[in-house]
Amino acid sequence: MKEEALSRANELDSSDSLSSFRSQFHFPQRNGKDCIYLCGNSLGLQPKNTSDFVNNELKNWQERGVEGHFTGDQPWVSYHQNSKSSLAKIVGAYEHEVVAMNNLTTNLHLAMASFYQPIGKRTKILIERGAFPSDFYAVYSRIQNSGFDPKGSLIELDPVDGSDYLSTEEIISKIEELGDELALVMFPGVQYYTGQFFDIKTITDVAHKVGANVGFDLAHAIGNVPLQLHQHNVDFAVWCTYKYLNSGPGGVGGLFIHERHGKNKELPRLSGWWGHNAEGRFKMDNQVNPIPTVDGWQLSNVNILSHASHLASLRIFDEAGIENLRNKSLKLTDFMEELILNSEVLNDQIKIITPSNHEERGAQLSIYLVNHGKSVFEFLIDHGVILDWREPNVIRVAPVPLYNSFTDAVNFVTILEKAIRNEG
């Protein structure tokens, strides 16, 4: 079985037009060998060009001091402009709708200050039950700080049929049920636990029909699946860049604001000086004149070293192309799923809780251990496989198309079989 699977994997790797990108990343080592790294949904690998980008800005700081803000090929005062073209392509937006800044939760608070404006009985925010903590705590506190009780205004949606994930129909039904009580729908693009890729267009359309705003947390979606935020009329989106975008631990976050809102200078917001009239910024005359793009939500100047690391990875995405990455991702995740489902050792010991329709998932398979516990995960770690454990019994596996191979999939499943056998 393994020999046949390896033969197929070798053929697929040989015909993979993206296979060369693997060599552009550093892999953690275990016993002198590259680990099988399947944890890009938690922290992406470091691109080999990252040190060049960061060291270049360290050199500018060393040689120019404060003058680095206004001199050189990429002055720091406008450094955030350098990532806009790449980000716009990745999320399906115009350049004036995207900006890299702050971190995800800060950006979420800034966006909700503008797009959660409860009035009358329209006070509710709809999220999924079990939402990633970044979203839950931000939404909970935003409701509280708006003078409402989260017990009544925070609606957490559960699957009604005992499924592991929410159907689009369930989400539509809940939005329509809440109707004119609904102020904001806040969902992930890709669900962190199951890997489900939500129907962003449909959710947005239905929410707008009842008069609600719509925002998405793209932490597990950006760099993973193609997005069309502008075309789908999304009001706002936020993201981090250290997962599939490989920008380093705690790297700079990002924000999308649809241009129809960016142009609205009257939209309430929490302001910072970097979001107002760039031309007169250093006159220090404190004129309130928001920039009529997403840049109007900026608070302060760019974290240059974090952004330099971000640019290093974005250059790789420019070369690879998000559509090409998605095509490989579908094949790679399908291949891994097939290996697992056809394994006589695994088929009654694990359950894949990620949607089986590959259009409804990102580069992830979440494996529920039916009869075993964390010792299986620990066996995998000890044998050179790096992945992610989530309670109560789930291993999240992320075959990332930029640097994972079809051979990685075979070797992972082989070690997983050994782990199950080892459990007896």
Backbone conformation region of residue 143, classed left if phi is above 0, alpha if psi is from -120 to 50, else beta: alpha
The reported pTM is 0.96
Encode pLDDT of 224-272 as tens digits.
Answer: 999 999 999 999 999 999 999 999 999 999 999 999 999 999 999 999 9
Q: For the chain, list the domains and their CATH numbers.
A: 2-34+322-423 (3.90.1150.10), 54-318 (3.40.640.10)
- Tens of pLDDT, residues 60-95: 999 999 999 999 999 999 999 999 999 999 999 999
Q: How far apart are CA 314 and CA 90, in angstroms?
A: 9
Q: Is the pLDDT of residue 1 over 70?
A: no
State the pairing for strand pair 46-47/25-26. antiparallel
At residue 29, does pLDDT exceed 70? Answer: yes
Complete DSSP assignment for 4-60? HHHHHHHHHHHT-TTGGGGGGEE--EETTEE-EE-BTTTSPPEETTHHHHHHHHHHH
Mean pLDDT of the 154-169 span: 90
Q: How far is CA 15 from CA 12, 39, 42, 333, 354, in A?
A: 5, 24, 28, 16, 27
